[in-house]
Structure 1
Amino acid sequence: MAEQLTGLADDRALLGRTSTAERVSDILRSRIAEGFFPPGTRLSEEGIGGALGVSRNTLREAFRLLTHERLLVHELNRGVFVRVLTVEDVEDIYRTRRLVECAVVRGLGEPPYALDGLASAVAQGERAALEEEWGGVSTANIHFHRELVALAGSARTDELMRSVFAELRLAFHVVDDPRRLHEPYLARNRQILQALQAGDRAEAERLLVVYLDDSLTGIVEVYRRRVGADADSTA
């Protein structure tokens, strides 16, 4: 036991470093989601480390965590970049969303449900739309789906989908008309909320399936057009 405790003591230094790295990764994840670092951006170790006041080792650990979440990619001899999603990535994200979100609604059990967070996200989106803050509408839509997943009461599911939703925001950043992309789903969010308020899980799931299918179609259409235009411009 003494030998094992000595080994643990040797690891004490890792606790502070890991904790700091996780905090740094939280900051960078939020910045990536907000579009502060758009897809394709090279992340400077010196610049970010200096701005946050953290060591190079801590920052590299944060980069490693975000690379594991598929938000960053390390390119040999070039550095670390915010990941640029492919159409196949987008399709896989939506496949995961449909599996998880629909299962959450299907497994809710008997009403009433704790819908305050969901209702707050709906109201947040509607306020942002009135102010024509379409980035805010996008954020509110993500919050809506995070609150929907949270209804499962599963920390593991929340953690899984946190990464999925952060990755989804990378796809949103290539869209040149966020109003057209996000505005139609405000009414759909409220319809899903109202179905759950009425205790109708089957209707809420039906609405959600159509919602996700239509959202995927819209994003892939825009994504293919944008990626194609970028390819043409470099030809």
Structure 2
Amino acid sequence: MALADIEPVSRESTAAIIARQLREAIMNGTFAPGTQLGETELAGRFQVSRGPLREAMQRLVSEGLLRSERHRGLFVIDLEPDDVHDIYSARFAIERAALIRVLRHGDREGLALRLLDAVEEMASATDGDEVSAADVRFHEELVAASGSKRLGRMARTLLIETRMCLSALHRTYATNEERVTEHKRIAEAIGAGDEELAVSLLEAHMEDAVQRLAPGTSLHA
């Protein structure tokens, strides 16, 4: 194919726009795990025909965010204890590797400042969505600081399920203070260059989330 034969990329399709908005609604908990998605209601909400809506919903089925039940319809996936365990085990492996790489070869002080900035956002958040967004930013900063494209790519594949977990996790805290403190201590350990403490705190942070979301399940079970 010659360069002249390459055609301009078309605008985002209606189905793609709907899929993106549904994906965001699932991530932030607007559509909680187990929620049934009705075509009639959603077509009315999006003010579209059922054709692009069905195409969008099938995209999310292929992504694993929706499940189809025969004669019943489409439902947001449930995060079972095994799912929670898998998500946080994978996250810990990725973030531990990133943390060690930063502490041994990166700008740990610069990272600590960015992490503490995310902690401040978390502390001043006024609702669960803002808390979760700051939480995501904290962990994204940690992975990005490693400079590893592969760690970043692996972390991004877990983003939607991570956001789903964080939305559910927010409801398990009586106040925001404990969540803020956990993240602040990790940031301070990184700033101090204490690898053993930072890894230990990160592990305890992930273990606590697993226990909250799937009681009786352990990160290392």
TM band (smaller chain): 0.7 to 0.9
- Stretch moving more, 89-98 or 30-39: 30-39
Contact 2:123 2:177 in 1 (8 A): no
Q: What do you get for the CA RMSD once the two structures are aligned?
A: 3.3
Identity percentage over the alignment? 33
Q: Distance in 1 between matches of 2:29 and 2:144?
A: 24
| Equivalent in the alignment of 1:48 | 42
Aligned to 2:27: 33
Per-residue deviation at 1:156?
A: 5.5
Matched, 1:197 2:191: yes
* Amino acid corresponding to residue 65 of structure 2 in structure 1: L
Question: What stretches of structure 2 of length at least 5 have no aligned partner?
Answer: none
CA contact (8 A) 2:67 2:74 kept: yes
- Are 2:117 and 1:120 aligned? yes
- 1:1-235 correspondence to structure 2 within 5 Å: 15-16=10-11, 20-54=14-48, 56-108=50-102, 109-113=104-108, 114-115=110-111, 117-128=114-125, 133-134=127-128, 136-154=130-148, 157-171=151-165, 177-180=171-174, 183-221=177-215
For residue 74 of structure 1, report the CA deviation from its aligned partner: 1.9
Alpha-carbon distance between aligned partners in 2 of 1:222 and 1:183, rounded to the nearest angstrom? 24
Q: How far does residue 97 in structure 1 lie from its aligned partner after superposition?
A: 1.1
Separation in 1, partners of 2:59, 2:148: 22
**1:77 and 1:177, CA in 2 relative to 1: closer, same or farther beyond 3 A?**
same
Letter in 2 for 1:161: A
Tell me the secondary structure at the aligned position of residue 35 of structure 1.
coil
**Structure 2 CA distance, aligned partners of 1:200 and 1:94?**
23
CA contact (8 A) 1:175 1:222 kept: no
Q: Secondary structure at the match of 1:104?
A: helix
5+ residue gaps, structure 1, are: 224-235
Q: Say how many residue pairs are matched.
A: 212
- Find the aligned partners of 2:95 and 2:120 in 1 and give their Cα distance: 20
| CA distance 1:206–1:176, change in 2 (3 Å) | closer
Residues 130-187 of structure 1: CA deviation (Å, up to 9, x unaligned) = x5x4554344323322332232345664454345242244445556943248642311
TM-score (norm 1): 0.72
Counterpart contact for 1:138–1:182, Cα < 8 Å: no
TM-score (norm. length: structure 2)? 0.75
3-state secondary structure, aligned to 1:218: helix
Q: Distance in 2 between matches of 1:127 and 1:87?
A: 31
The AA in structure 2 aligned to 1:63 is: M
User: Given the superposition, is the C-alpha separation of residues 219 and 165 from structure 1 closer, same or farther in structure 2, using an over 3 Å criterion?
Assistant: same
- In structure 1, what is the Cα distance between the partners aligned to 2:55 and 2:146? 31
